Amino acid sequence: MEASKTFDVICLGGGGAGILAAVRAAELGKKVALVSKEPAGYGNTRLAVGMMACPGIMPEDSVTDFVDNLSQSGAGLSEPDLAAIIGRQSREAIICMEKYGMTLYRDKEGKLGESVVFTAGGHNRPRTVRNAGGGAALGAVLRTALWRYKITVLHETAALELLQDKGAICGVLCLDLKTGEMELLQAPAVIIATGGCGAIYYPHTSNSNGAVGDGLALALQAGAVLWDMEQVQAIPFGVTHPESMLGALLGESSTAGPAGRLLNGKGEVVLDKDIHKMTRAALVKTMMLEIISGNATDQGGLLLDLAPNLTLPQGDKLYRAIEASGIFQAARYAYGEKAYRWEEPWSVLPTMHYLMGGIQVNSRGETKVPGLFAAGEAQAGIHGGNRLGSVALSEIFTFGRLAGETAAAYSSEAGKTLDLSATETCRTWQKVLASDGEHSPQHLKKQLQACMWKNCGPVRQEKQLLGALRELEEIETKSQSLSINQERTLNRQLLDAAELHLMLPVSRSIILSSLERQESRGAHLRLDYPDKNDRDFLQHTAVSREADGNLKSGLQPVNA
Amino acid sequence: MKTEPLARHLTIKRYHPEKSPAYYESNHSLKFNDEKPTVLQALIAIYENIDSTLAFSYNCRYKKCGLCAVEVDGHPSLACITFLREHQTIGPLSNLPLHKDLVINRSLLEALLMRERIFMTKGLAQESEHPLNHPFPQFRLHPDLETLLSCIECLCCQASCPVLSAGKNTPYAGPFVFVKLAQLHLDPRDSLDRASQAVQLGIKACSGCRQCVCPQGIDIYSQAILPLSGKA
């Protein structure tokens, strides 16, 4: 292992939140490193459609109006302080992105006027703008933002564990996937911006395959609290085949248009109108109940027939409007041109899309652990039980910058880097990654993902959740005996092994939180507790690690 | 309804720096339940069940990220949306440094973009305090710019460029770099002379053969090379 490298601030995650956090800290004069499993500018940010809410941009809109809208949609779990921050600061964050080269669609006069500002899903008025080129263009711009400052980018590098001295953060142990070598990075401040955990359900996810929630596991291990981990939002329409495209995003409720119909495997109509007005959660529940009752198609999903929309007087216009959002491109690749033109029905299945829960932070992006910060999808408390459309990008830009600022200030106060003794941690990980045991990490990872989808997916009940805990224990035991090929350069098995170990506590957190919340709220749908219960559960679920290493779940008040 | 599994035989061009500096091939026969499996599906199946040392990249699985580009029978393609036919050969993208097997090393191109300052050095927002509400009459999104911004940086264009393949010693950065330069050239916010930069980076060596492949449908010759050469 190489000697450790020293920084003021380390950002984990190479998407929008991580990069803007790194850039902000560097702007404030700090020596910054960015660690990313992929090249910088990838992650889920790159898969974004490119829509971002910008409160107050239209004269009739106001920050208060937006914050009310956001809080109401959050099913009571949205933290008012955090909602207010995104309301006040997302405008500045978007300006900042424009400065780095993001190209927003503007009207003929070059303004963000009526013709280019629209109402995204769940919003009470138009306030959403869009960038040309979507996520890939954002990724490219974000990467160039890193070049403006002397930020050390460790790409193709996975963070394995946070290192602490008397509880305070002092560094990160990483695995360089390019060489298979472990690397020690030293810093008093670490920002977790590793995104959500849709890939815990892979392939049933619209997320990038790396979004396994590894940063959440690091935070949990270090003593941070995870809030509302049961709040993983499924989006109603994902691809069912070919196998390698399973889970790819096809659309949300509004994509169905006013006349779209949903049919089951027997050709019977499940829903014949107003699908576009349903919440994501209500539609997902209807679809999953139909599938569970044995009425799925041979492909394991349902059929979404959009053709009736084309016969409406406004049919063409409607098609063009929804097509322009770029949301259902995957229909073309998976099902062909006719399906893309709505002339043939789509085979659809809900797919895991966004984690509303995550690491608990205060309004400065600080966790309970000294020196540990979180931003973006990895952080909890903004959206509560449901996320409004187009707020995710605004969120990662806003809170990325905020965490960068706080971490920079903290690193100045923290002064000299604490003593780093990582020998024990390194040895443990070396053992995990060099093991010549029985089980392939890629197969155990798949088993875990299948177990989570089946037992703790879009709809849940106690019996299945308890079954999932038992299977998780079995996988945990097997994960102590991995068989990994001996190559070092770009060895996928090394990454799978590391991810597996980090996915286990995250999966357990999702299951424990799902058991804890004995009601249905937001994206969390319990078939055995179908109603919302404000008396007992208008609170965050909270998972933390006990002294003996076990995870414990409980409830914590909102707006404490 | 279920039919017999579909059989496919394929060859993969491998490169393994730890073992040998030479290329080698591995042959595989696979069975799929899908009627139309993708190339990516085959790579994943080989990694999971046959040869865990196979190195390849992918991220989104539906043409959003641009990480999975490979050559299928010599044609640069995105593995995620390319359906696998019988007896095909999968190899890494040409004209790019190789890391291992199907994974190319992107860092040299990135370093070039950074070194040559091929990014927005001065953006719209610095010129006004409230730029989002203020009109910018000079800001017209050129239709070619909109297309150029759809670039997912998959590097299929570099791999398919005959000038790069010919490997003459003249400095020639390749179509990807010219797309990046043209994005800035057509952007009214950019203040550097991108056309002169293009000349320094060898744009005159472009033969105009139009063989550059772009899965996003960018017409690189018309939309990047010509505008940068002052001919659009």
How far apart CA A335 and CA A338 sit, in angstroms, is 8
Enter the pTM of the model: 0.96
Residue entry with tokens 């991580």: A18
Residue A38 has its nearest CB partner, among B47, B59, B80, at B59
Q: Does B66 touch chain A (CB under 8 A)?
A: yes
Least confident of A142-146, A504-508, A532-536, B186-190: B186-190
Residue A54 touches chain B, beta carbons under 8 Å: yes
Distance from CA of A108 to the nearest CA of B (A): 7
Residue position matching structure tokens 């300006």: A95
Whether A235-351 and A423-531 share one fold: the answer is: no
Within 300-319 of A, beta carbons closer than 8 Å to B belong to: none
Mean pLDDT of A260-270: 97
- Chain A within 8 Å of B217 (Cβ-Cβ)? no
- Is residue B127 scored above 50 in pLDDT? no
**What distance, in Å, lies between the first and last C-alpha atoms of chain A?**
44
Looking at the complex, does the CB of residue A446 fall below 8 Å from at least one CB of chain B? yes
CATH of A423-531, one of 3.30.530.20, 3.30.420.310, 1.10.579.10, 1.20.58.100: 1.20.58.100
Average pLDDT (B198-218) is 97
What pLDDT, on the 0 to 100 scale, is given for residue A424?
86
- For residue B125, pLDDT beyond 70: no
pLDDT for A472-503, tens place per residue?
999 999 999 999 999 999 999 999 999 999 99
Region class of A358: left (phi > 0), else alpha (psi between -120 and 50), else beta:
left
Provide the token pair at B230: 């002052």
- Higher pLDDT among residues A554 and B1, named by residue: A554
- Give the model confidence (pLDDT) of A97-118 as tens digits: 988 999 999 888 888 888 899 8
Residue B51 has pLDDT above 70, yes or no: yes
* Poorest-pLDDT segment among A381-390, B174-183, B215-224: A381-390
| Dihedral pair phi/psi, residue B113, rounded to 5° | -60, -40
**A333: nearest CB among B44, B63, B131:** B63
Contacts of A98 in chain B (CB under 8 A): 123-125, 131-132
**A14: confidence class by pLDDT, cuts 50, 70, 90:** very high
Rounded to whole angstroms, how far apart are CA atoms A191 and A552?
24
Task: For residue A136, give the nearest of B126, B134, B151 by CB distance.
Answer: B151
Q: With 70 as the cut, is the pLDDT of residue A308 above it? A: yes
B100 touches chain A (CB under 8 A): yes
Pairing of strands A51-53, A346-355: unpaired
Mean pLDDT, to the nearest integer, of A525-532? 97
Class of domain A235-351: alpha beta
pLDDT band at B121 (very low <50, low <70, confident <90, very high): confident
Cα–Cα distance for residue pair B107/A42, rounded to 1 Å: 14
Highest-pLDDT range among A147-151, A353-357, A412-416, A430-434? A353-357
Q: Is the pLDDT of residue B20 over 80?
A: yes
Q: Is B177 on the interface with A (CB under 8 A)?
A: no
Q: Which residues of A touch B16 (CB under 8 A)?
A: 487, 489
pLDDT tens digits, B55-102:
999 999 999 999 999 999 999 999 999 999 999 999 999 999 999 999
Nearest-by-Cβ selection for A47 from B64, B113, B151 = B64
Smallest Cα distance from B194 to chain A, Å: 15
Between the alpha carbon of residue A489 and those of residues A175, A179, B13, the distances in Å are 12, 5, 17
Give the CA diameter of chain B.
65
Q: Which secondary structure element, helix H or strand E, spans residue A449, and what is its range?
A: helix A441-456
Secondary structure letter of residue A80 according to DSSP: H
Q: What percentage of residues in chain A have a pLDDT greater than 90?
A: 84
The rounded distance, in Å, linking the Cα atoms of A72 and A229 is 20
Q: What is the mean pLDDT of residues A425-445?
A: 91
What letter does residue B83 receive in the DSSP assignment? B
Q: What is the 3 state secondary structure string of A185-241?
A: EECCEEEECCCCCHHHHCCCECCCCCCCCHHHHHHHHHCCCEECCCCEEEEEEEECC
Superfamily of domain B106-228: Alpha-helical ferredoxin (1.10.1060.10)
Residues 18-47 of A with CB under 8 A from B: 38-39, 42, 46-47
Q: Could you give the residue ranges of the DSSP H alpha helices within A388-440?
A: 391-414, 423-434
Residues in chain A: 560
Mean pLDDT for the stretch of residues A466-471:
98
Using the predicted structure, report yes or no on whether residue B193 has a pLDDT greater than 50.
Answer: yes
pLDDT band at B169 (very low <50, low <70, confident <90, very high): low
Nearest to residue A206, comparing CAs of A195, A214, A216, A215? A195
Q: In this complex, which of B59, B61, B140 lies closest to A244 when CB atoms are compared?
A: B61
- pLDDT given for residue A418 in this prediction: 59
Question: Can you tell me the mean pLDDT for B132-146?
Answer: 74
Yes or no, beta carbons of B133 and A111 under 8 Å apart: yes
pLDDT digit string, tens, across residues A24-54: 999 999 999 999 999 999 999 999 999 999 9
Residue A419's pLDDT band (cuts 50, 70, 90): low
Residue-wise pLDDT for B25-41, tens only, equals 999 999 999 889 999 99
Residue B159 and residue B174: Cα distance in Å, rounded? 9
What local confidence, expressed as pLDDT, does residue A468 receive?
Answer: 98
Residues of chain B in contact with residue A99, where contact means CB-CB under 8 angstroms, are 120, 123-126
Residue A377: DSSP 8-state? G
Does residue B166 surpass a pLDDT of 60?
A: yes
Q: How many CA atoms lie within 13 A of A464 on its CB side?
A: 16
The radius of gyration of chain B's CA atoms, rounded to the nearest angstrom, is 21
- The domain spans of chain A are 235-351, 423-531
Q: Which residue has the higher pLDDT, B75 or B190?
A: B75
What is the pLDDT at residue B19?
A: 83
Q: Helix or strand or coil: residue A254? A: helix
**Does the pLDDT of residue A204 top 80, yes or no?**
yes
Closest CA in chain A for residue B38: A244
Query: Over the Cα atoms of chain A, what is R_g?
Result: 23
CA of A94, closest CA in chain B: separation in Å?
9
Looking at the DSSP bridge assignments, the partners of residue A359 are: A226, A379
B40 touches A at CB < 8 Å: yes
CB of B92 within 8 Å of any CB in chain A? no
Q: What is the mean pLDDT of chain A?
A: 94
Rounded to a whole number, what is the distance in angstroms from the first to the last CA of chain B?
55
For the cut 70, the answer to whether the pLDDT of residue A119 exceeds it is yes
CATH C-level class of B6-103: alpha beta
Q: Residue range A190-215: average pLDDT?
A: 98
Q: Is A62 on the interface with B (CB under 8 A)?
A: no
Q: What angle do CA A421, A422, A428 make, to 5 degrees?
A: 145
What is the DSSP code string of A116-143?
Answer: T-B--TT-SS--EEEBTTHHHHHHHHHH
Q: Where are the domains of chain B?
A: 6-103, 106-228
Q: Are the beta carbons of A103 and B61 separated by less than 8 Å?
A: no
Residue A2, pLDDT score: 54
How far apart are the CA of A298 and the nearest CA of chain B, in angstroms?
A: 8
Contacts of residue B149 in chain A, CB cutoff 8 Å? Answer: 103, 132-133, 137
- Whether residue B129 is predicted with pLDDT greater than 80 in this model: the reply is no
Q: What's residue A416's pLDDT?
A: 61
Pick the residue with more confidence: B133 or B127?
B133
C-alpha distance from B191 to closest chain A C-alpha (Å): 12
A431–B contact, CB cutoff 8 A: no
pLDDT score recorded for residue B126 = 47
Q: Assess whether pLDDT exceeds 90 at residue B168.
A: no
Q: Contact B52/A101, CB-based, under 8 Å?
A: no
Q: Which of A222-226, A420-424, A470-474, B175-179 has the lowest mean pLDDT?
A: A420-424
Token code pair at residue A277: 């007005």
- Tokens encoding A333: 């690749």
Q: Searching chain A, which residue's CA lies closest to the CA of residue B37?
A: A242
- The ipTM value here is 0.95
A contact residues 149-188, partner B, Cβ 8 Å cutoff:
155, 178
